Chains A and B, each alone.
Chain A
Amino acid sequence: MTLTEEQVSAIFMSQYAIMKPSLVDGRATKYDVLKEEPWAGYRAAQRERRRILPHVSEGAFPEHLFKARAPNQTQAELDWMRENFEHTTLPVYMDLENTVGRGLHETNWNLTIGDVAIEEYVTTGVNEWGALFEFVKAALLKRKIADPMGVVAFLPKSIETISDEDGNESVAPDAVIRAEPMVFGSNRVWGFAYDAWYLIRLSESSEVQEGNKKVRKGIVCLLVDGENVWRIEQVGRAKDEKFDITLDYTHGIGEAPVIHMMGTPSAHHDGLVWTSPFAASAGLLNVALLTEHQLRASEAKLMFPVRVMIGDPCEFYDQVHGVRCVDGVLAWIEGEKRIEKKCTACGGSGHKNRISPFGELIINADPNATKPDAVNASNALSYASPSTDSSRFMREEIERYERSARAVMHLDAETPMAGGDVKTATQSGLDAKARAAFVKPICDQLFVIFDFGIRCIGRMMRGPEWSDYSLRVPVEYDLRTDADFIGIIAEVQKSGLPTFITAMLTDEFIASRHADDAESLSNARALAIADRMAMMSEAAVASEISGGRAQPWEVLLHYSGLSILTRAAQEAGFDALDLLAKAERLRAVAREQSAATGAASPALGAIIAQIEQ
């Protein structure tokens, strides 16, 4: 869709009118006061973003959580919590990021670009990131999770220009536009029509007149359509609300190079709105975060218990005024005026200090003395501190909420709970499937954005018809960890299932571990094929050896496989062999080595040497 300047102006003024109530110094901040939304779900998107950000990003303070005091909470306690805020729920997001990261592993996808210049730019030339995929992998996920209605725009940061005789700049006729990914939060998306146009508030501000002063508070927006990028800049006096609209440049790719970061699709009124897959967990994590800080505030108080000890009434006598301390006060009459002064001996407490210079509490030695304390050394002093039961309950609650948040995203399979039953391989398998199901749409959408980015970059460099690239994305994501595989294999071995099932699972494990290195994968598989005892249990291997059924070279291959593989791999042409030929070569090397040493083990070799002597 290509807009005319009039249409651009109309769109901007319409959206500006909607956004105006929320603006402070030209920026949308008070979205709660908006009467009308610039797009369906704008307010909800901002609320969701605010809820999620503290759990995925450092520096985002959850003001909404700490706005109101809890019943019985003092203002000082609330202030302490604010001052000592920490992002204690971040590890949950880090687990999600690591899990998604496994799905994005380079071995899971493949990109081929026919145009060398575009390939070079996409794989190494993107400003700051180098490869476009690095941006997708490292920067996009966090923003996408926190703000799915935010957008990624593929636009150039600078374009080569030429100046005419009058000094007017214009885009050079042979300028190559190199687009870069730029992320804009949903609060900066002031309007859009899917795939047609996007109105984005830039972070920069223009200079406007406010009274007698020039201030940088003017609105600067870009409106991106299918052909052009329009720049809208506030000028003149701020209160005049006057805007310059200029055609910044033509990208000319036939579609707006802007895409939503996406999430879980949902219908909001009559429009499509993306919500975060993290949203369900955010509520639970909010509770965990708030409770964590309440607990920490409570702990801080418990750290300093109140000391309770016996005391004697202060007997200080003020010889100047001839009065005695009564309840910490010295009082006398001067003329007709009563004068009171805090006792200098007891500091106003009304009791004598019984703590010696070395910190001992002094009590009367003889309980039958004239003024007995009626106490003894063991009960003369105590500390008043509340029970820690409530603290323990809070800790359990925090862990429960965090566990629930992880469970929503199927991230709970990593570590068995201490003291609990270790998960069975079946459970691990189901968890792995559920986790893959949760991660798949996230990874799929990241690849959609990656694909869109390549298309935009290529078409801006070579024209709207360019499509000389092929991106193969994963159909399935295997997110099983080494521990998952080992658990499953161990259970299969114990279950008495046929050995070939163990072998198949082991092959999957090898494939997963060496997926990023074809040569390493091939060698590992060859070794597994060459060693006929590779899939046997330890007891079965021992039985083969003690029963004399295992040849010395087989024993050597079983226990020194890596050494044999290393030696074989040094031979010219080994890498070029197919799997079975490699396996056969490994067996041959094992036979050679076994024949050279003459025994399956050095210890046995020594015995044979002594007999042969």
Chain B
Amino acid sequence: MSIEAARGIGDEAATAMDAAVQALMKRASARIAAEVATLDTDALGRIRPTAANIQRINTILDRVSATLFDDKYLADVAKYLRGLNTVSGTVADTLRSLGADDVMLNAIARRAKAGAATQLLSTSSYRDLFGSVSSQLINGIVTAAEASAVLQGIAEAVDTSGIDRAVKSQIDSAPAAMQRAQTAAASEQAGIVFYRFQGRPIATTRPWCLAREGKVWHVEEIREWGRQAAAGQGWDGMIDGTNEQTIFTYLGGWYGDRAACRHVLTPVLPSRVPPDDMARMRAKGLVD
């Protein structure tokens, strides 16, 4: 399997994880509704505006927090991590032939997976969700709203919320980020200087990527893109913070919510560099 194909599997894993989070929200919605139903109501079904009910909000949030991650969700997280393993395994296989160190590649992969798992399994990644439920509950209690209306409001809010946006972005980007970090590290270690800017074009492929796609580039050329970006001469869709180091991870920039474009840098042996590309590099004085 090529690095690009593995990258596709990583993207699918990230998409599946997004769906798993949405499914978790639907399940959590029912659990939260059950908890909210324990609030004291009057004969007309309105939540009583009492101090006891207000105090109960924390208990409800604690219980929801304690039971948020069910076994189904944990299985989905495991599946997502399996996707990262596929990406990592393929990248390692490819780079091993270039003399990359397995221990280091594994360390990068492990860190990426542990980071993603930690974020996916931390209730602090769901601050927006809890904040929304909390404020709806408070409003519902102090205004003595009908319990059914509050339940409906919470259900809608939970259904449409999910993991916090910034965390989602990191989870979506993790397969690509991990692959690029591994590639960069292996290349540095093996002294690789030629990379193919690989990836199939799509309708939204930005001009910056289109201009580089399919060609082999010298490592110094790539660093130069990063330096230009850092100097304020970036391009549409570029991620803030792109520089001569991070260019290897961020590459073309945003792809939807993901902090990584769809392209990959694949190491290339000098003998495989196309003559046109070699001539360009030679003209720049990068090769003899």
Interface string of A575-613 (1 = CB under 8 A from B): 000000000000000000000000001111011011111
Closest to B118 in A: A611
Question: A interface, how many residues as a size bin?
Answer: 10 to 19
Residues on A with beta carbons closer than 8 Å to the beta carbon of B84: 610
Complex CA–CA separation, A592 to B72 (angstroms): 26
What residues on B are CB-neighbors of A611 within 8 Å?
81, 110, 113-114, 117
Cβ-neighbour of A606 out of B62, B67, B75, B110 (below 8 A): B75
Complex CA–CA separation, A601 to B67 (angstroms): 14
B65 interface hit (Cβ, 8 Å): yes
Residue B276 interfacial (CB < 8 Å): no
Interface: B203 (CB within 8 A): no
Q: How far is the CB of B68 from chain A (nearest CB, A)?
A: 9
Please determine whether B62 and A539 come into contact, CB atoms closer than 8 angstroms. Answer: yes
Contact at B75–A603, with CB atoms within 8 Å? yes
Measured between beta carbons, the chain B residues less than 8 angstroms from A542 are: 62-63, 66-67
The 9 A-B residue pairs with the shortest CB-CB distance in the complex, in nearest-first order? A542-B66, A603-B74, A610-B81, A606-B78, A603-B71, A546-B66, A611-B113, A607-B78, A539-B63
**What is the distance, in angstroms, from A398's C-beta to the closest C-beta of chain B?**
32
**Which B residues touch A610, using CB under 8 A?**
78, 81-82, 84-85, 113
B residues in contact with A543, CB < 8 Å: 62, 66
Instruction: Judge whether A545 is part of the interface by a CB distance below 8 angstroms.
Output: yes
Residue of B59, B62, B66, B84 with most partner-chain A CB within 10 A: B66
Could you mark each residue 121-141 of chain B with 1 if its beta carbon is under 8 Å from any beta carbon of chain A, else 0? Answer: 101000000000000000000
By a CB distance below 8 angstroms, the chain A residues around B67 are 542
Which of A's residues lie within 8 Å of B, judged by CB?
A: 538-539, 542-543, 545-546, 601-604, 606-607, 609-613
In the assembly, what is the distance between CA of A308 and CA of B110, in Å? 90
Contact with A along B42-73 (1 / 0, CB 8 A): 00000000000000000100110111000100
Most buried by B among A542, A546, A610, A612: A610
Question: Whole-angstrom distance between the alpha carbons of A20 and B220 in the complex?
Answer: 132
Q: CB-nearest residue of chain B relative to A613?
A: B85
Residue of B nearest to A541 (CB): B66
A556 CB to nearest B CB, Å? 15
CA distance A443 to B197 in the complex (A): 93
Contact B62 A607 (CB under 8 A): no
Decide if B81 touches A607 in the complex (CB within 8 Å). yes
In chain B, what residue has the closest Cβ to A603? B74
B163 at the interface (CB under 8 A from A): no
C-alpha gap A606/B117 in the complex (Å): 12
Is B77 among interface residues, defined by CB-CB distance under 8 A? yes
A223 to B255 Cα, complex, angstroms: 109
Count how many chain B residues have C-beta atoms less than 8 Å from C-beta atoms of the other chain. Answer: 21
Contacts of A606 in B (CB 8 A): 74-75, 78
Cross-chain contact of A545 among B66, B74, B113, B121 (Cβ < 8 A): B66
Among A538, A543, A546, A612, chain B packs the most CB atoms within 10 A around the CB of A546
Q: A606-B75, A611-B110, A611-B113 are in contact. Are A539 and B66 (CB under 8 A)?
A: yes
Nearest chain B CB to A329's CB is how many angstroms away? 69
18 further interface pairs, Cβ-Cβ under 8 Å (given A542-B62, A607-B121): A538-B63, A539-B66, A542-B63, A545-B66, A546-B66, A602-B71, A603-B71, A603-B74, A606-B74, A607-B78, A607-B117, A609-B78, A610-B78, A610-B81, A610-B85, A610-B113, A611-B110, A611-B117
Interface residues of B in 74-102 (CB under 8 A from A): 74-75, 77-78, 81-82, 84-85
Known: A546-B65, A546-B66, A607-B81. A601 touches B74 (CB 8 A): yes
Q: In the complex, what distance in Å separates the CA atom of A311 from the CA atom of B114? A: 93
B62: A residues at CB distance < 8 A? 539, 542-543
State in angstroms the CA–CA spacing of A545 and B69 once bound together: 12
With both chains docked as a complex, state the minimum distance between the C-beta of B155 and any C-beta of chain A, in angstroms.
21
Residue with the greatest number of chain B CB neighbours at <10 A, chosen from A538, A543, A546, A607: A607
Return 15 A-B CB contacts under 8 Å, by A number. Answer: A538-B63, A539-B66, A542-B67, A543-B66, A546-B65, A601-B74, A603-B74, A606-B75, A607-B74, A607-B81, A610-B81, A610-B85, A611-B113, A611-B114, A612-B110
Inter-chain contacts of B77 with A (CB < 8 A): 607
Q: Which residues of A contact B63 (CB under 8 A)?
A: 538-539, 542
- Mark B249-268 against chain A: 1 for CB-CB distance below 8 A, else 0: 00000000000000000000
Residue of B whose beta carbon sits closest to that of A610: B81
Q: In angstroms, how far is the closest chain B Cβ from the Cβ of A536?
A: 12
Q: How far is the CA of A601 from the CA of B121 in the complex (A)?
A: 14
Bound-state Cα–Cα, A611 to B115, Å? 10
* Most B CB within 10 A of own CB, among A543, A546, A609, A611: A611
Complex interface: chain B residues within 8 A of A612 (CB): 110
Partner of B78, one of A538, A546, A603: A603
What residue of chain B has the Cβ atom nearest to residue A611's Cβ?
B113
**Which residue in chain A gives the minimum CB-CB distance to B83?**
A610
With both chains docked as a complex, state the minimum distance between the C-beta of A270 and any C-beta of chain B, in angstroms. Answer: 63
**A228 vs B117: C-alpha distance in the bound complex, in angstroms?**
91
How many Å lie between the Cα of A611 and that of B74 in the bound state?
13
Tell me the smallest distance from the CB of A549 to a CB of chain B, in Å. 12
**Within the complex, what minimum Cβ distance (angstroms) separates A129 from chain B?**
54
Select A604's contact among B59, B74, B82, beta carbons within 8 Å: B74
Q: How far is the CA of A361 from the CA of B85 in the complex (A)?
A: 84
Residue in A543, A545, A602, A606 whose Cβ sees the most chain B Cβ within 10 Å: A606
B121 contact set on A, CB distance < 8 A: 607
The answer to whether B59 and A539 have CB atoms under 8 Å apart is yes
Q: Residue on A with the closest CB to B68?
A: A546
Chain B residue with the shortest CB-CB distance to A601: B71
